[in-house]
Structure 1
Amino acid sequence: MTKKISQKNIETESGDVVGRDKIVNAPKQVKISHIRRLFRDLSTEYGNEDKIKQICFELTAYQIEKDVIGLEAKLNDAGCTNNYIENAEVVKQKFAKKLYHYQEYQSAQRIFVLLLAQISELFRAKILPLLNEGKDVIELQNDIYEEIINPIYELLSKEASEDNVLYLNPEEIKGMIYYLTGRCHIKWIA
């Protein structure tokens, strides 16, 4: 049952009785980041099995190997131990499998392109100068974590909080570094 409202001989079944101007503010539309939107889109695409057949140009560029010496030889040349190289190969493969599994989803492709580009740029800006100064690769592990892995993981924790598909973890982010190294997008020696 609705309550009748009256004001100076104005009766209404429901609603507002206004003496002059009624100002209604529309709810603000919240802008979301590009990467958050991509994760939302990916969730929908994945749920609907909305696959595509073509890999975007930007992702293809990261999948092409620029030379053939491979990850092991590159890290060996940089002075890495066998244990280090074995671990790098394992985490690289973990990421490569995830990339392969989700490459048929357009939003996943865009997410991977953004992350690979960011990792590549962070490596060149933060790690390569340390290598050029003569810092040993093994000594760089904390720098790699602090300058690349942790910031990317924090970005994902914040912007991909609704991610229910990719679940990228720090180990896979580290795998992206070695994936890029193996395809010669990242160089460990000048």
Structure 2
Amino acid sequence: MFTGQSHNDVGGDLVGGDKVDNRKTTVIQLAATGGADEELAALYEKLKADGVGDASHGKFSEKLQHYMSATTDGDVRGLEAKLRDSGREEQLYAATDLKERAFKSIMRYQTSRTAQRVFTIVLSELHARFTLTVTPVIQEGADRVAVDHCIHAILQATKNMLGENVLEFDVMDLFGLLYYLGGNCHIRWDKC
């Protein structure tokens, strides 16, 4: 027996497969809510109490240690080679200086497990944002201006995520942490 579909009104389109609507594009922007923001606020409260928060007892957290160590799989070039290979030689002097400042900043808080967690959150955020936002643009062969625009966007988004920002990270500190990630084999500025 055949059942006809004529004269059925479902209040819209009834599709038994994929319906493609080329007339409009929907853009979804995700805002950071909860999660890192709430955790950062709690960590800041601990840091404001005595400048240290929870003591680290001379040990770095495993997650922070991951970012402090150069990875041995994948791209093991140093920061200088990565910058040269991506046509960013003019950044070499500033990048080396900012990377060193980032390292010293991490070491300044080595006795604070609380501050280590803040650094881990920031490094993790920068790494993920770079991987998901900048790397695809690089892989598509975009020009330097487009790549730098994406880098600027992730730096600003990370800075905005910091909220009260008790450790007083500015955009150049975050840029230094990007160079730190590059120097420790976590990110690159050229195609894979």
- Using the size of structure 1 for normalisation, the TM-score is 0.72
Distance 1:48 1:66, change over 3 A: closer
Q: 1:58, 1:113 within 8 Å by CA — same for their partners in 2? A: yes
Residue type at the aligned position of 1:149: L
Percentage identity across paired residues of the two chains: 27
Which residue, out of 23, 37, 43, partners 2:42? 37
Distance 1:44 1:50, change over 3 A: farther
Moved more, 118-127 or 130-139: 130-139
Determine which structure has more spread, i.e. the larger CA radius of gyration.
1
Residue type at the aligned position of 2:125: Q
- Aligned-pair RMSD on alpha carbons? 2.1
Q: Structure 1: how far apart are the matches of 2:57 and 2:51?
A: 11
The answer for the alignment partner of 1:9 in structure 2 is none
Q: Structure 2: how far apart are the matches of 1:58 and 1:49?
A: 16
Q: Structure 2: how far apart are the matches of 1:170 and 1:131?
A: 22
Residue type at the aligned position of 1:77: D
Matched, 1:54 2:54: no
CA displacement, residues 88-124 of structure 1 (integer Å, 9 cap, x when unaligned): 1122122111111112201111111111111001001
Matched, 1:101 2:108: yes
Return the offset for 1:40.
Answer: 1.3
SS in 1 for 2:59: coil
Q: Structure 1: how far apart are the matches of 2:135 and 2:98?
A: 21
The answer for the alignment partner of 1:77 in structure 2 is 85
SS in 1 for 2:51: helix
Return the offset for 1:44.
Answer: 2.6
The answer for the alignment partner of 2:157 in structure 1 is 151
Return the offset for 1:76.
Answer: 0.9
Return the offset for 1:138.
Answer: 5.3
The answer for the alignment partner of 1:120 in structure 2 is 127
Q: Structure 1: how far apart are the matches of 2:49 and 2:56?
A: 11
Q: Structure 2: how far apart are the matches of 1:80 and 1:51?
A: 37
Q: 1:78, 1:137 within 8 Å by CA — same for their partners in 2? A: no
Residue type at the aligned position of 1:118: E
Q: 2:58, 2:110 within 8 Å by CA — same for their partners in 1? A: no
Runs of 4+ aligned structure 1 residues displaced above 3 Å come to 47-51, 136-139
Residue type at the aligned position of 1:145: H
Distance 1:48 1:116, change over 3 A: closer
Residue type at the aligned position of 2:78: G
Return the offset for 1:33.
Answer: 0.9
Return the offset for 1:46.
Answer: 2.0
Q: Structure 2: how far apart are the matches of 1:66 and 1:50?
A: 27
Q: 1:79, 1:136 within 8 Å by CA — same for their partners in 2? A: no
CA displacement, residues 105-163 of structure 1 (integer Å, 9 cap, x when unaligned): 011111111111110010011100110111234552222111x110111122xx225x2
Q: Structure 1: how far apart are the matches of 2:94 and 2:124?
A: 23
Residue type at the aligned position of 1:160: E
The answer for the alignment partner of 2:148 in structure 1 is 141
Q: 1:80, 1:137 within 8 Å by CA — same for their partners in 2? A: no
The answer for the alignment partner of 1:186 in structure 2 is 187
